[in-house]
Amino acid sequence: MTAYAIAHLRHVEWGPDIVTYIQEITDTLDAHGGRFLVHGDNPVVMEGPFPGHLVVIEFPSMDHARAWYQSDAYQAILPLRTQNADGATVLVQGVAPGYRASELLAKH
């Protein structure tokens, strides 16, 4: 089932390190079937404060997402971002076609 890497980045320092990170990240995704779905710096905020940028990357599975994040190629460039931006990154499982929000209630 599809999985996603989601990052909420704030206080990005747009220097040479971030430029290098952006130039190289796509190559780290290719071997793991990853692709950008969202790479936005101007979200339309509908509720509450939302400073920063949102990034969503799709992978064929959670195994692919984890393998990408832990890969030597990504780990080599990761400090270029973490030393120049605040934020959080999570890996989340997608849902099956036809999923209904009420299905969550059965888990609680």
Give the CATH fold of the 3-107 domain: Alpha-Beta Plaits (3.30.70)
Its pTM surpasses 0.75: yes
Helix (H) or strand (E) holding 105: none
| Cβ atoms of residues 15 and 81 within 8 Å | no
**Which sequence spans correspond to the domains of the chain?**
3-107
Q: Is residue 71 predicted with pLDDT exceeding 90?
A: yes
Q: Distances in Å between the alpha carbon of 65 and those of 35, 43, 52, 79, 100?
A: 11, 24, 23, 18, 24
Q: Is residue 41 predicted with pLDDT exceeding 80?
A: no
pLDDT of the residue at 108:
76
Query: Please, what is the average pLDDT of the chain?
Result: 95
